[in-house]
Structure 1
Amino acid sequence: MEQESVNPAIGSILDEQKLKNIVYPTKLFRTRLNEEFMRANRTRKPFLYIKMYSHQYDFFGWGSPNKTVENTWRISILTMFSHLRFIDVLGYLSDGSGLGIILLNSDLSVLESIRKEILHKLNDAGLIQTLRINPKKPIFEAYIYTGLQEKENLELEEKIKDFNSANGRFFSLCRLNLDHIWEHPHTIRYRHMVKRFVDVTCTSIAIVLCSPLLLFCAAAVKLSDPKGPIIFKQTRVGKNGKLFTMYKFRSMYVDAEERKKELLAQNETGGKTFKMKNDPRIYPFGHVLRKFSLDELPQFFNILKGDMSIVGPRPPIPSEVAEYEPWHRMRLSVTPGLTCIWQVSGRSNISFEGQMRLDNDYIKRNGKLSDDVSLILKTFKVVFKGEGAY
């Protein structure tokens, strides 16, 4: 087993407790976390992932070390350890920053029970006032994953807000997302900075070069259907479920959303998205816009704002996300984009499930800039052919 660099504060507690649980090294612990994430998708049994940081009472954490703060931290950690069962998983976080615990088959009620027990013990020890000190990070960063279909998680968002509002800087809680588990290159800072620089630079140049085309499309939309706006604005779901407004040249008549209900039975994707080849809601020039993806050009401005990237999974609408199975949501772990793998592999001719798998395949890649460039070049080829778009 690989040797881990252990903060003395954590090491002393582990020695004192003689825990029966194996303390996994960082890489194996991350592997176990990924396994439990996938298992929850199948079993629909929730789990809690809790990070316990070991630098809460050093100079860069809660300020100058003192016994009161140190005892508060130790009581909190020891109480957490007392809830460990033999099925739970314990391991080191990266860079020796602390420990992580995976509490299996546990939900928010378990976390609330632990929180109350910690507060009672701190109160009995006369240390409850110490929690008013603002640490650099909370003592515990907690994450919950249910493995449920997205629409079944709607109540969870409100419960998380309520939990955080009541706990200040002591506990923090959020939903577990894929980028909390995978050390994916998109989360590595320098690669993210390079990708963002390329997005802004290339998009700025594209706006200048395509300005005549943008003006032509805007005029054509207005002439084709004068009653409606030139730009269609729609709420989309971005990275980790963040909502944003996406821009497109309007390719449908103004009453398209009202007429959609009448056409749902003719959906040709076999999934949560709605597509049909001969959609009567699209006006004649709208078919041209869609065939050559000209309706997507205003999304250059979404890229400049940072809501989107040039390459990434297409951003879905909230109603689609509400129907997602857990594994579908993995595609939301990166910034959405103009184009991705399935856009160059058949576009709308690919089924919904196929689209989800190709998007997840992109997420699992190593994030090399050369791969993104390759997808952009393939996109130009597909767009000029106008195949698979409707």
Structure 2
Amino acid sequence: MEQANVNPDIGSILDEQKLKNIVYPARLFRARLNEEFQRSNRTRKPFLFIKIYAHQFDILGWSRPNEIINKTWKISVLTMFSHLRFIDVLGYLPDSNGLGIILLNSDLTKLENIRKDMLHRLNDAGLIQALRHSPKKPIFKAYLYSALQEKENQEMSSRIDEFNSMGGSFFSLSRLTMSEIWQHPNKIRYRHFIKRTFDLVGASCGILLLSPLLLFCALAVKVSDPKGPIIFKQTRVGKNGKEFTMYKFRSMYIDAEERKKELMALNETGGKTFKMKNDPRIYPFGRVLRKFSLDELPQLFNIIQGSMSIVGPRPPLPSEVAEYEPWHQVRLSVTPGLTCIWQVSGRSNIPFEGQMRLDNNYIRRDGKIADDIKLILKTFKVVFKGDGAY
């Protein structure tokens, strides 16, 4: 298959190489990437996703390409192609400026071997000196998906950092995030702009309209338990695993975190999150805050900051994310929110696995603002009834 408007340098090297692999058009290549992600989650076998760009041929890369630079780039790309197997997947990237490669059942060791082979071939051709003329952007952007629990992924970070420190100008390596796999509607510029505008307007109006309630809750927290702060600040995990500080009205005694370890055996969610109906760490007025979700109101300021959205999966704790299975990590591909599907479908009465599936269902939707508005209206009804909150 041919791709219209492909970068001519990419096209010429494909014609010259006469690859046996099918070169998928961009749309089908993205579909194959999604399939391999699903397969990897089932088999627990890792894969590498590599983007190849021709940066040295434009003003964003090597500003003055010459014959040595061109040969260096060509040998590097042909070396990458030489490691392709029949089962591997090759396709065009959406911007038509490069190619994508999916190396199946491959890990960091495979990528290190490719890099060593590349350096040997450049050295044999007497082109190592071309490495001194560094491109401003890497030719190869590599992403590793391990299909492991998140805590095992985090342990791999040091190896990734070590690889990047030795990668020179040609490679950059990072963990594969869901935003590279799915073309979620919120990534489409105008929809992202509409959703962000909706969040800013909605949160701003909410702060203005609810300011008397916010002030009352703040005073009530201070009177109920004067020893601790009014606002509880907690580190949560946002989009693509980026951590941020989330704000809540404090609903627990100040020693709540220390006492949590003693209560873990009483966890009622059956999963990574911790919830119990009669949590002794919650002071009396804190139960009122939680029953009607008033403790969440300060997160309107998180929405203004951009770390949260009005509608989206609830932001998890880092300790919870560390225990995530690969398919759980899908919920980290979008901006977390105040409310989502499981908040209007039973709240804390829904077990952990059910929460994950409902969040993933939201992410797979088409991202229409009208659907978000329906969820917000359902949230008001659920919060007023106070069912499932503890």
TM-score by shorter chain over 0.5:
yes
Report the alpha carbon displacement of residue 49 of structure 1 after superposing the two structures with TM: 0.5
- Is residue 72 of structure 2 the alignment partner of residue 72 of structure 1? yes
- Is residue 275 of structure 2 the alignment partner of residue 275 of structure 1? yes
What per-residue deviation string (whole Å, max 9, x for no partner) do you get for residues 244-280 of structure 1?
1111101011111122122212211111111111111
Matching residue of 1:110: 110
Structure 2 unaligned spans of 5+: none
Report the alpha carbon displacement of residue 136 of structure 1 after superposing the two structures with TM: 4.7
**In 1, Cα distance between equivalents of 2:373 and 2:211:** 23
Q: Tell me which amino acid in the other structure corresponds to 1:113.
A: N
Report the alpha carbon displacement of residue 203 of structure 1 after superposing the two structures with TM: 1.1
1:114-153 map, 5 Å: 114-153=114-153
**In 2, Cα distance between equivalents of 1:49 and 1:104:** 9
Report the alpha carbon displacement of residue 131 of structure 1 after superposing the two structures with TM: 3.1
Q: Tell me which amino acid in the other structure corresponds to 1:65.
A: P
Alpha-carbon distance change, 193 to 165 in structure 1, aligned in 2, over 3 angstroms? farther
Q: Tell me which amino acid in the other structure corresponds to 1:251.
A: S
Contact 2:55 2:139 in 1 (8 A): no
**In 2, Cα distance between equivalents of 1:81 and 1:54:** 15
Give structure 1 regions of 4+ aligned residues with deviation exceeding 4 angstroms.
none
Report the alpha carbon displacement of residue 56 of structure 1 after superposing the two structures with TM: 3.0
Matching residue of 1:21: 21
Matching residue of 1:8: 8
Contact 2:92 2:100 in 1 (8 A): yes
Identity of aligned residues (%): 76
**In 1, Cα distance between equivalents of 2:65 and 2:365:** 43
- Secondary structure of the corresponding residue to residue 57 of structure 2: coil
Matching residue of 1:191: 191
Matching residue of 2:62: 62
Matching residue of 1:258: 258
Structure 1 unaligned spans of 5+: none
Alpha-carbon distance change, 198 to 106 in structure 1, aligned in 2, over 3 angstroms? same
Contact 1:89 1:101 in 2 (8 A): yes
Contact 1:5 1:95 in 2 (8 A): no
Report the alpha carbon displacement of residue 68 of structure 1 after superposing the two structures with TM: 2.1
- Is residue 42 of structure 2 the alignment partner of residue 42 of structure 1? yes
Matching residue of 2:158: 158
Contact 1:57 1:69 in 2 (8 A): no
Matching residue of 2:358: 358
- Secondary structure of the corresponding residue to residue 353 of structure 1: helix
Matching residue of 1:322: 322
Alignment length, in residue pairs?
390
Q: Tell me which amino acid in the other structure corresponds to 1:225.
A: D
1:170-319 map, 5 Å: 170-319=170-319
Contact 1:271 1:353 in 2 (8 A): yes
**In 1, Cα distance between equivalents of 2:335 and 2:310:** 9
**In 2, Cα distance between equivalents of 1:199 and 1:98:** 35
Q: Tell me which amino acid in the other structure corresponds to 1:262.
A: E
- Secondary structure of the corresponding residue to residue 141 of structure 1: strand
What per-residue deviation string (whole Å, max 9, x for no partner) do you get for residues 201-243 of structure 1?
2212211221111111111111111111111111111111111
**In 1, Cα distance between equivalents of 2:30 and 2:307:** 29
TM-score (ref. length: structure 1): 0.96
Report the alpha carbon displacement of residue 139 of structure 1 after superposing the two structures with TM: 0.2
Matching residue of 1:347: 347
- Secondary structure of the corresponding residue to residue 95 of structure 1: coil
Contact 2:55 2:137 in 1 (8 A): no
Q: Tell me which amino acid in the other structure corresponds to 2:317.
A: I
**In 1, Cα distance between equivalents of 2:55 and 2:245:** 40
Report the alpha carbon displacement of residue 55 of structure 1 after superposing the two structures with TM: 4.3
Contact 1:54 1:98 in 2 (8 A): yes
